[in-house]
Amino acid sequence: MAKEESSNPAEDYRRCTQRFVELANIMKGENLEPGLVSQALMAASSVYATYAVAGNEGGLTQSGVDKLAALYRASLEEVQQNRKQNQDQS
Instruction: Indicate whether 32 and 67 sit together in one domain.
Output: no
**How would residue 6 be classed by pLDDT, with cut points 50, 70 and 90?**
low
pLDDT band at residue 14 using 50, 70 and 90 as cut-offs: very high
Q: Are residues 77 and 54 in the same domain?
A: no
Same domain, 26 and 41: yes
Strand (E) or helix (H) holding 28? helix 9-29
Predicted confidence at residue 7, as pLDDT, reads 82
pLDDT of residue 1 exceeding 60: no
Give per-residue pLDDT as tens, 22-70.
999 999 999 999 999 999 999 999 999 999 999 999 999 999 999 999 9
Provide φ and ψ at 33, rounded to 5°: -65, 135
Domain that residue 75 falls in: 60-90
Q: 66 with 49, same domain?
A: no
Q: What pLDDT shows up at residue 73?
A: 96
Provide the pLDDT for residue 5: 63
Question: What is the structure's pLDDT at 4?
Answer: 60
Domain contains 54: yes
Crossing angle of helices 62-89/34-54, nearest 10°?
Answer: 130
